[in-house]
Structure 1
Amino acid sequence: MPRLLAYLLPVFALMLGLLLSLAAPGGAQAQILPAQATAEEGDAAAAAAEPGPLSTLLEVLRDETGRNALIAELERVTTGAGPVDQLEAVAEEVQQVEPRLSIGARIAQTTQSIAEGLAAQADQVVRSFSGNGNLLGGLASLDLPVLWETFQSLILVIVITVAVWLGLRAMVTPVYRRLGERAEQANFLRMIFLFIGSTALDAAVVVAAWALGYAISLLALGEYAEVGFRQALYLNAFLLVELVKVAIRAIVSPATGGLRLVNLSNSAAQRLNRHVNVVVSVLGYGQLLVVPLVNRNISFTAGLGVSALLSVFVLVYLVALVVRHRANVANWIARRLMAERVEEESDAPEETPEETPETAPAAAVAATGGPADARPARKQLGGMLGTLTRTWHWFALTYLGFMFVVVISRSGEVVADYLIGSGKVLAAALIGSLVIGAIGRGLRHGVVLPDEMRRKLPLLEPRLNAIVPKLLITLRLLVSLAVILFTLDVIGLFDLGGWFASPAGLEVSGRVVSVVLILLVAAAIWLAVNSWIDYRLNAEVGRVPTARETTLLTLLRNAFAIALLIFTLMFALAEIGLDIGPLLASAGVLGLAIGFGAQKLVQDIITGVFIQFENAMNVGDVVTVGGTTGVVEKLTVRSVSLRDVQGTFHIIPFSSVDMVSNFMRDFSYFVCDMGIAYREDVEEAKQAMFDAFEELKTDPEQKMNIIGDLEWFGLNSFGDSAVVVRARIKTVPGTQWGLGRAYNGILKRIFDARGIEIPFPHQTIFFGEAKDGRTQALRLRQVEDGASGPDTGADTGADTGPKTGGDAS
């Protein structure tokens, strides 16, 4: 899901809280606002809510079942069937009998209660308006000369504190910019330290100006070592308001983009900081300085009027800002959402040339009058997100209108409670958005390990990038859920603290935390074991693993993954509250049934285990299994995977393996069966084979593979066309085939040089003899040289000589 929560969460969480507080007649106001009804109104409401005995008796008499029960009980008491003192108990039972109502009646009662609640809420608002009709009328009693005289004693302190603050700000602004430049190139941890340092420096400037103002008030104004009430009010207001501005500057960072927590341009950040400073200054200094001075020096009524006037000014100012910048804000939200959507849909987006009217699609040009990219971002985003983005200002204006009603109809304490509740929701949404944005950046960048660790553990980084994004997505959902629950808690629809303190809350939260910890520990163990196996198998670090180590470690990885998955699932289910005893018993029965039904599978596994115990083959060995010869590429407890010389991949289950022929144990032999003509001297051929072996030992590519002398076996067999002599060479295992090919090449060259015939298969024509010794004559015709024709035939009976391969008969 795109970063909808990261950009729309502050607005919609606030809107949700305040709109729901309007819809809840009692619950929400009980949490945010103090009760407005008087004690007499509360007693009247309680008396009206509690049904009287007459109304209860009337309901019972209307219901046939209750009426019959009442009559039977009264008859039993009057006839002496029971004591008279049971009348009270009978009355209580009668009161507990609820008449059975139809579904329509119940729906009518529900709608009636909702309508009555809304009417009561509206009536309360109207009465608040009528009761506070003179709220702004208190401004008529405002005496401006008295107010000006009050502020004259503060001019010196105000000028000094503001001048010192402005001077120190001008001095440290270049420092902010340097810190921002460093933060742009810094890693995440160093950026956090730079952010904390810049914020602390900004707060130190405010504290220094405040301290200097206090010092001047103590030493130069009024009595020595005493601070006047007006100076104390201003200095406290200055400290609180400017610290709030420090927090705002820490978020938007108008001076530098490197330390900015929100994705804004420099001009947008400066404008946002300026507008927020205006609101904070008017509300802060007005409520903390102006209103208390008016209350003390003029009247409390005038103070209420000033407080309401300041609030209305801020609301009008905010309405003007929302209306003026509604398109800019909508475009900013749409760009963020579309950028996030592109990053999620494309792992490696390709850069495309900018679309022009000539290259834009005809439909887009016809619909918009230009390229599709020329439309504002808020119009390019479709669906529900686009609708919410384009109408965000209506939610903001609704909230501001609601706050106007509160300011006009409620007291200052109620307005303060509403503002505090709104601030809590806004702060939670802002913090949640920042956390979600940081998580989104972590998802895009991934985990990057140092080069040395990547060299030792080359597969650790891909594994972390496969697990960490899932954890971050889960964390992002949890942050969003936490913000929503906190909002519901603030508006009074859900008691978050009470739920956590309840037995059910403790049980659910404890089990969720336990399951999360089990999953995290299992993931950490899996990463650690796999990293250790990768380290052992990495030939670049430490010693080169043997083939048996490679095979056993590979099998260990698979077996450990299966065992860890089973144990993790068992522990997680046990923490959730499921009884795993029946599950284990069922798994045992299922395993027994599978064992009977899949005997071949059991045979595969048992045979494979014993093959591994006997070290019959390892990964990389050349073996013959089930009539197939190839290189072992993969070994499991059930099968072996071979790649033959043609590149065909074979998977052979161990149940079909009767014999394993391994060509890679300890040493190998190249056996040379050499055929020579019957007329050749065997001793001459033997010497030629030894000479070829001596030449082979001088080959730089093959001499390291020879671990023994040439073994001469002698004349091995008589063939149809050749006499076969045998010799063999002891080699390093696995090199016998390459070394044999090199030896054959040398031997062919030496035999050709010495005239030793290597016969090819041929036949000798024999004409049979009669008993008297006569043979049939072979008719031959002499042909002139160069003549040819259909009757021309080869002289198959002629002797071609000893060096051309012929054989006299």
Structure 2
Amino acid sequence: MKPLFKVLALLAALFCISVPLAAQVPTPSGSPQATTPTVPDDLTPDQVDDLVARLSDDQVRALLLERLDAVAQAAKAPAEPRKGPIARAGDAAKALVASWLDALSKVPVLVTKQAEALSNFATALGTAGMATLFGYTLLALAIGYAAEKVAVYITRSWIKADPASASDDLRGAVGYLFRRFCREVLGLVVFYYTLVFVGRRLLEPEQIAYAAPFVLYLIWLPRLGAAISRFVLAPNRPDLRLVNADDHWARYLHRNQIGLFLLIGFTLFIVTFNDLNGVAMGDMRLGFWLNSSIHIYIALIAWTARSGLTEMMRGNDPDRTEFDEKVATYYPYFAIAVSAAVWLIVEYFVAIRDMAVLANIGAGAHYVTMFWLLMAPAIDTLIRGLVRHLQPPMIGTGAIAEKAYRSTKRSYIRIGRVLAGIFVVLMIANAWEIDLRQVAGAGSDVGGAVIQFLIIIAVGYILDEVISLWINRRLAKEQTAIDQSPDEEAGEGGGAGGSRLVTVLPLLRVTAQVAIAVIFGLLALGALGLDITPLLAGAGILGLAIGFGAQKLVADIVGGVFFLIDDAFRVGEYVDVGGTTGTVEKISIRSMQLRHHRGPVHTIPYGEIAKLTNYSRDWVIMKLKFTVPFDTDPNKVKKIFKKIGAEMMADPVHAEGFLQPFKSQGVFDFDDVGMIIRGKFMAKPGKQFTLRKEIFNKVKAEFKANGIDFARREVRVAIPGLDEAEHLTPDQKTAVAAAAAQAANEQSQQGGGE
């Protein structure tokens, strides 16, 4: 039995690592008393082996009984009821009010506590130590500044000697400003690490503890802010400015951005300084007032420069959407709201004294958060500006090309916004030391599930935009290639059809969007912990219902697939479906829409199409009739038609529409007014109407030039003694006119009302 007891003792020892027991347990009656050993908190494997070797059977029993009693008592303890959201909000409000009242109550001791910190600083270092600290710090600053100037001088070739040429275009301006910014940052890096190198050799460790925060927060950080501001605002170079701001607001924002970095740096330094000198910030609450002043300063900047910030956010892109306008209009108020929200969150964690969060706040995580939140709309404006200048040029000309160009631009902007949002989230998470991969890997955790959900949605959205971007650009290229000129008219025979891609790509885009939405939607729901098996089963049942109850719909879809495979019609072609004629305006997965040349739109399911006649495929023959008097020479007309055909084939405006030139087919028929001479030409579908109009104009002009009249219907009245017509009385002339009118009416009725 002893081995069994030793195994139990090992389990008891491992179970008691988290809750050490240091009590003596009496042995059962009749047994000698045994003392339970003290179990340390952090047992090692060797300590476990040693403990098992030293424990007796009675000690094991006592240890187990003690642990079982503790477990039973813990089980009997009533669980603390979980508070609702209203109760938690009330507790948070009480904590905030108490924290603010505490800050107000400690206003009288601000000066004395700060004086205490300075006194402790002087006492700790002494007069000689302070003199050494200040002297060597100034020396290190001088050496660091000199090293910075050397680095900047060495890299002077990075920037053109004459920056005037850099303002010719955006690429030149960005290149110049970026190289200048890199030089400044490189100089700051050299400056800082030179200070670190020199300071470690001149100063003692306790002196470095004061010098390092001073240099970092009060010198290096404001200079970095000034470099960033010069890159974006270019206060002294309006021709290189990357944002849409005039000189007044650019200089105002530049000055106040430097002032804001100085105030933030001073806050971080004073917190570190007082902590090093034994004065906790909670004893004087100076951090509350400094942090509040930073947020008030931001709100004042945003309110004062609201018109300038609005113009800066609006940008100079003419293709702004309503969303862009609203973002620009409300950005100053958004900045004020962000500043207030971050201040309130910081005060809440200070009030509840969450030490883990307060450690990040002390490192400036809330300032980083506020910076990136305020920069998010500015990054959006930057994305729109970059897309405007870096987007590939428009394919072709005309309304279709312009529409496709704008659609492509919006796709690029939306993709950039998603990537910028991911970048901002990563930067904020890094500031708070949050490992999003670890959080996302915690499947049972709510935060991890939400992060997985957002990642899946973002990936699906980007994939959808990329596919739409490719399809739209390809579709625009195809549509522009077959686009009609503005003065080109479509008649009863329809116009030129689009390519096969123009017909298939819209269906492919809709299919891809539906597939992406379904797949990534199910994945996202699964990431939230929802069981998607019932959804898949429901989809299967729905498919069966469609298969049995909607056979006509299935027939329409299958018919449409085979029509597309056969390439029976394309968007823009003129077709006849069972006596219904029109131009194919739109196709869907189950039907097509025909636009009649007089306006009506016919929707025809694919399953009802028994026969389809396409009038716009490959070529069109147009035959024209001209009626001339009987005494006209047909050969002369033939030469005129041949001349017109040659001239139009030589004209680059019309030549590309012909497949065969206009030519005469001779005398086609006779009627009661003259000869009917016919001409014909072969043209590309959709071009025939423009060519026909031009041919009519040229034939009329040539006939007039050659003394050929068009035959027209007329009535001739033979009157005996017409030679004496000038001697007719008015009554006789009236009688003649009446007789001629009557004859014309009778002839018109006999001719079918022509």
Normalising by the smaller structure, the TM-score range is 0.5 to 0.7
One-letter code aligned to 1:520: I
Q: In 2, Cα distance between the equivalents of 1:761 and 1:487?
A: 96
- Match of 1:308, SS state, is coil
Alignment of 1:231-380 (within 5 A): 231-235=204-208, 237-239=210-212, 241-245=214-218, 248-249=221-222, 251-253=224-226, 257-258=230-231, 265-276=253-264, 278-279=266-267, 306-308=277-279, 319=289, 329-335=298-304
Alignment of 1:115-194 (within 5 A): 147-151=126-130, 157-165=136-144, 194=180
**Given the alignment, which residue of 670, 678, 681 partners 2:623?**
670
Q: CA RMSD in A?
A: 6.6
Question: Is it true that 1:729 corresponds to 2:669 in the alignment?
Answer: no
| CA shift for structure 1 position 553 | 0.3
Question: Is it true that 1:660 corresponds to 2:598 in the alignment?
Answer: no
Question: Is it true that 1:592 corresponds to 2:561 in the alignment?
Answer: no
1:153-209 residue CA offsets vs partner (Å, 9 max, x unmatched): 556534532443455567789999998997997676886665454223113123334
Residue pair 1:176, 1:255 contacting (<8 A) in 2 also:
no
Q: In 2, Cα distance between the equivalents of 1:416 and 1:95?
A: 31
In the superposition, the TM-score normalised over structure 1's length comes to 0.54
Residue pair 2:148, 2:191 contacting (<8 A) in 1 also:
yes
1:660-715 residue CA offsets vs partner (Å, 9 max, x unmatched): 26266445142436364xxx46xx54334324334434534688548378565656
Q: In 2, Cα distance between the equivalents of 1:214 and 1:91?
A: 58
Question: Is it true that 1:204 corresponds to 2:190 in the alignment?
Answer: yes
Q: In 2, Cα distance between the equivalents of 1:391 and 1:755?
A: 89
- Match of 2:623, SS state, is strand
- Match of 1:504, SS state, is coil
* Equivalent residue number for residue 581 of structure 1: 536
| CA shift for structure 1 position 568 | 1.5
Gaps of 5+ in 1: 1-41, 48-86, 218-229, 292-305, 351-376, 407-413, 541-546, 766-776, 799-804
Q: In 2, Cα distance between the equivalents of 1:211 and 1:106?
A: 54
Q: In 1, Cα distance between the equivalents of 2:343 and 2:69?
A: 59
Question: Is it true that 1:448 corresponds to 2:388 in the alignment?
Answer: yes
Residue pair 1:447, 1:464 contacting (<8 A) in 2 also:
no
When residues 346 and 521 of structure 1 are mapped into structure 2, their CA distance, relative to the original with a 3 A threshold, is closer
* Equivalent residue number for residue 411 of structure 2: 467
Alignment of 1:39-188 (within 5 A): 147-151=126-130, 157-165=136-144
One-letter code aligned to 2:253: S
- Match of 2:499, SS state, is helix
Question: Is it true that 1:432 corresponds to 2:383 in the alignment?
Answer: no
* Equivalent residue number for residue 49 of structure 2: none
Q: In 2, Cα distance between the equivalents of 1:416 and 1:96?
A: 28
**How many positions carry a matched residue from both structures?**
599
- Match of 1:562, SS state, is helix
Q: In 2, Cα distance between the equivalents of 1:317 and 1:236?
A: 20
One-letter code aligned to 2:225: V
One-letter code aligned to 2:547: L
* Equivalent residue number for residue 707 of structure 1: 660
- Match of 1:467, SS state, is helix
Residue pair 1:489, 1:496 contacting (<8 A) in 2 also:
no
| CA shift for structure 1 position 507 | 6.0
| CA shift for structure 1 position 273 | 4.6
Residue pair 2:661, 2:682 contacting (<8 A) in 1 also:
yes
When residues 348 and 522 of structure 1 are mapped into structure 2, their CA distance, relative to the original with a 3 A threshold, is closer
When residues 193 and 595 of structure 1 are mapped into structure 2, their CA distance, relative to the original with a 3 A threshold, is farther
1:48-86 residue CA offsets vs partner (Å, 9 max, x unmatched): xxxxxxxxxxxxxxxxxxxxxxxxxxxxxxxxxxxxxxx
Q: In 2, Cα distance between the equivalents of 1:722 and 1:138?
A: 119
Question: Is it true that 1:504 corresponds to 2:447 in the alignment?
Answer: no
What is the identity percentage for the equivalent residue pairs of Structure 1 and Structure 2? Answer: 10
| CA shift for structure 1 position 447 | 1.8
* Equivalent residue number for residue 240 of structure 2: none
| CA shift for structure 1 position 751 | 9.1
Q: Name which structure has the greater RCO, CA cutoff 8 Å, separation 6+.
A: 1
Gaps of 5+ in 2: 1-18, 24-64, 107-111, 235-242, 244-249, 320-328, 483-494, 527-531, 741-746, 748-754
Q: In 2, Cα distance between the equivalents of 1:425 and 1:595?
A: 59
| CA shift for structure 1 position 557 | 0.8
When residues 709 and 525 of structure 1 are mapped into structure 2, their CA distance, relative to the original with a 3 A threshold, is closer
Residue pair 2:502, 2:571 contacting (<8 A) in 1 also:
no
Residue pair 2:497, 2:616 contacting (<8 A) in 1 also:
no
1:196-234 residue CA offsets vs partner (Å, 9 max, x unmatched): 54223113123334534556x5xxxxxxxxxxxx63443
Q: In 1, Cα distance between the equivalents of 2:408 and 2:702?
A: 59
